[in-house]
Structure formats: C-alpha cells, structure tokens
Chains A and B, each alone.
Chain A
C-alpha cells in the first residue's frame, strides 16, 4: 500500500532527477556551442570573411565558401519553393482527400525521411553523372532542393490550411476564378507561414554536408558560374577539422557557420512571434 509519504518522496526524487537531466542536457549542448564559438570568434574578422583562402586553407579567408553556401541555398530555394508551394496549393485547393493526395503525402513523408548520404548518392549518379552537370552549384543546389522540398510542402500546407474558408467563399462570390483566388487571396495570406518554412529550410541546407560533398565538389576557388564546383562553409569546416590543416581556420569557419545558422533560425522564430500572435 503506497502511503502518501512514499508518493511524495517519489515525487521529490523524480523532480530532482528530471531537473538534473534537463539542465545537464541544456548544459552540454551549450558547452558544445561555447567551445567552438570561444575559439572561433576571435578568428572572425573582415579579413577572414572577405578574403579567399591561401595555401590550401592554412591562412586567408573563407569568402568563396560563404558565396558557395549562399549560391547553393539560392539554387535550392529557386527550385524547391515553387514546387513546394505548388504542391501545397494543389493539395488544399484543387483536390480533396483521395488516392492521389494520399500518394502525394506518402511520397512527401518518405522523402523527408531519406538520409542525406542517400541524397548524396542520388545527386551524384543523377545530376553529376547522368545529366552530366558535373560537380557544380547546379548539381548541389538541385540535390538540396530535393532535400528541403518536404519541409516546404508541409509548412506551406499547414499555412494554407489555416486560412478560413470564408476568404475563399468571399472571393468566389465576387466572381473570382480558382486561380485568381489562389494568387490574390490565399497566397498573400499564407505568406508568413510559407516564408517561415522557407527560412527553416535555409537553416537546414546551410548545415548540410554529406550530400553537398558528393555533388558540389570541394574546390576552394570562387565559383564563376552555376557549373563551377564550390565548397560550402560546412564542407570547408569538415575538411579543415579532419585534416588538421589549421585548427584556427577550422574554429573560425565553425563559428561563422554556427552564427549564420543561429541567425537564420532566430529570424524564423522572430517571424513566428511577430506575425503569428495568439489571442490572450
């Protein structure tokens, strides 16, 4: 028979354990970030960020990698955003729950679960070899687009779902066609949610390494076209860290990477809070 005393004692113990676990988890995570940031932030300077690397990355800066990261993300968004938003619109506006929509959802969910190395293999054999795009920003960007597509689809879908039916009713009653409704009413209203999803995908694609190495190559030169190979910040960090070429550069790149990712995600959070306010 469990007495009140025992129950309260159990609660005390559990509380202590849970608090310890939670705080130590957060502590370790912060430790990880702190380690890189502490060593890396001193390295960050305008010189570091705006110069090209010299002598295999032992010195100089990381500008080509920054450009590479942005370029790959831009290409990925260019392809994934229209596809993702289009899919969301189709699922919500142009069809009801049917076999097709179930298949599409299943495909999206499965795609979301594919690990990045498989995307890398696919991108390599399809974009680099089969379509003969070579190791390039285009190959890397297209592969990344496939990776972020599921995220954009579901954020867009949820954003579109949240729009009240009355909007559509009003639009139709005023004589608008479906497409007019979509472009003039639904999309603008769903924009905050869609944009947030896009920002989140950007955060993810910045940190992506495995798929990028296999499709965009690892050249340290400033890219000159969409067909140039390029090295992103995360790939550069990975290579520097493993080869021990220059720990200082590695830490600096890592710090830059962390700050960039944190910035992007903070913007996303801020956007949520700003445009998605809850009623008290």
Chain B
C-alpha cells in the first residue's frame, strides 16, 4: 500500500486574488495514464494524514473560536446604546463614553461616525439612540430634540513655520476661494498656496462655508481630507498649506491664526469675540430616557464638561459676558 501522502501537483503558482484562474494544479493531461506511482492520497491512508489535518485545523481555528466565542457570549446582557453622527463630535463622544463606562462598568456605548446628517437621520429612524451633529438643525429637522453638549470653534490653521499670525476674513476668503494663489500676496515668501478642506457633506465644512466663505466657493483645487485629524496631519507636514479644523484638535504641530486680531481661544469665544463657533449637539427623537438620558446627564455634568474643556471645547452652558 502506498503510504505516501499528498497530491501530485505540478506547476503550482499561487497568488493573491483577484485572478483566481492564476492558481493551477495541473495534473497529467492524459487521464488514461495510470496515476499510481505518483505521490497520491490513498483513501485508506488518510487516517494518518487525517490526524495531522485535524491537528492543523485545531491549531488554526481554535484561537478563532476562543477569541470570538467567550468574549462575545459573556457580555450579552449588558445595557448598551449607540451614538452616531458627526465625525467632529465623534472623538469627544468616545472620550465621554470611556468616562461613562468607567463609572458604570457593564454598560456599553458604541460611538460611530457617518456625518452630522447621517446622525440626525439615525436618531430619527432609531438606528442610533443618540445622534451627533456639529451643525444646527435645519427647519425640517425641528421635530427632533437637540441638546447642546458643547460648543466648538473652527480654527484656521497653518504650519508653525508660517510666519503669518493674523489674517483678515477677506484674505481668508480670497485664499480659500483660490483668488489668492501665492503666499507672496499674503505677505510671505513666493510659493503656491496649498488649500486643504473637508469633504462635501461634512458639518465642519458646512459651518466654514456658511460663516466664512458665505457665497464664495471653496476652490476646486483644494486638497480634500475626510476628517479633521487628517487635515491637521497634512498641514503639519507641509509648510505651505492652510486649512481649518476643530479648535479642540489644534495641537503643537499646527498653528491657529488669529482672525482680525482675535485669537481663537475658549476665552474669546466666551466673551463672544471669536464668532466662528458651532454647537455640538446630541439629537434625540423624543425626550431623552433610560440609558441615553443617563449618558446625557453625565455629559452635561461638571465631570463631563470638564473632560470636554480639557480637550479644548467650550462648555455647553456658557453665557456671553
């Protein structure tokens, strides 16, 4: 009895898909020829091979089963809510969720992106318990219940090497609309300006458009990134770029410019001097109740608001002094 295991496979080349036809296990084209004498699998033999096969299967699939089974099964009965919407609010909501879950072990809060509009829709259709929005509600969304959890300013940022510290609104509009194409015209060295913006549909972009650009269009030549963090990355890597992000995301890698002498800071927002501000909303489709309300209470509590303040947001309950 032939105790050799394995298939005779000639000219075997394997490769990652997409072309599965690449994989060839060509055998004798002439099927009349006796296959015996090749290294083939004789069924009676596969007991020996079979143990090895089972062994491999076990080693490979056991971690899969172990990883997914118990980890998932034992957490089935925890209370949980979903918070979905604006990616500007998302990182802060995640932080808040972390804080909440630390105080309430055994609960789960899933935070999801998708955009302000998607978040509002999700709140309405109950796809999520809470919708996040970084813009105010539109008239036809007024049947929902928005609660302001913080205020966020939009800061215009440049690279730290950029000597400009102050830009009047007209110049900002000129730069972002593409009318001013070279840094020389703004007071720096001669080099083309690289504009970075958020993508269409972003709440941040809409706010920037509404409050800054007004009727001017952002230039089509602008680089587009799909998150504030990505814009910050791009600006921090290229000295000749200019962009806008959430004030809360500004760090030492980029520089926020003053607008007409007003520095974007929490202090200036609170006195109403810096006006490029938008609300961060939690949107509910009815009066908040249950775990959603508990989370909301945490967010609006001094602890929650302090967390947000530490990250550079303006607390929800401020009054213009």
Contacts and interface: CB of A to CB of B under 8 A. Distances in A.
Interface of A: 54-56, 66-67, 70-71, 73-74, 108-109, 112-113, 134-135, 148, 150-151, 153-155, 158-159, 161-167, 184-185, 188-193, 195-197, 200-201, 203-204, 217-226, 228-229, 242-245, 267-269, 271-272, 274-279
Nearest to A186: B43
Interface stretch (B71-79, B133-141, B190-198): B71-79
Contacts of B40: 164, 189
Which secondary structure dominates chain A's binding surface?
Answer: helix
B1 to A, nearest CB: 14
A189 B41 contact: yes
B112 interface: yes
Given A56-B91, A162-B9, A279-B38, A113 B18 contact: yes
A191 B57 CA distance: 11
Contact of A219 (B7, B8, B67, B110): B110
- Say which size band chain B's interface belongs to: 35 or more
Given A189-B7, A219-B110, A73 B64 contact: yes
Contacts, number: 167
Contact of B31 (A67, A165, A185, A279): A165
B112 A203 contact: no
A275 B75 contact: no
B9 A193 contact: yes
A277 B6 contact: yes
A243 B227 contact: yes
B7 A193 contact: yes
A164 B35 contact: yes
Nearest to A202: B60
Given A217-B110, A269-B14, 17 more contacts: A55-B98, A56-B94, A112-B20, A113-B18, A151-B20, A153-B20, A163-B7, A192-B7, A221-B109, A222-B71, A222-B75, A244-B233, A245-B229, A267-B60, A272-B12, A272-B14, A279-B39
Contacts of B41: 188-189
B20 A278 contact: no
Interface string B28-55: 0001001100111101001000100100
Contact of B25 (A73, A109, A161, A277): A161
Contact of B9 (A188, A217, A276): A276
Contacts of A229: 110, 112
Given A188-B43, A243-B230, A275-B7, A155 B67 contact: no
23 contacts: A56-B94, A71-B67, A113-B19, A150-B17, A159-B7, A162-B7, A162-B27, A163-B7, A184-B43, A188-B43, A204-B16, A204-B17, A220-B94, A224-B72, A226-B72, A228-B72, A242-B225, A244-B253, A272-B9, A275-B7, A276-B7, A277-B6, A279-B39
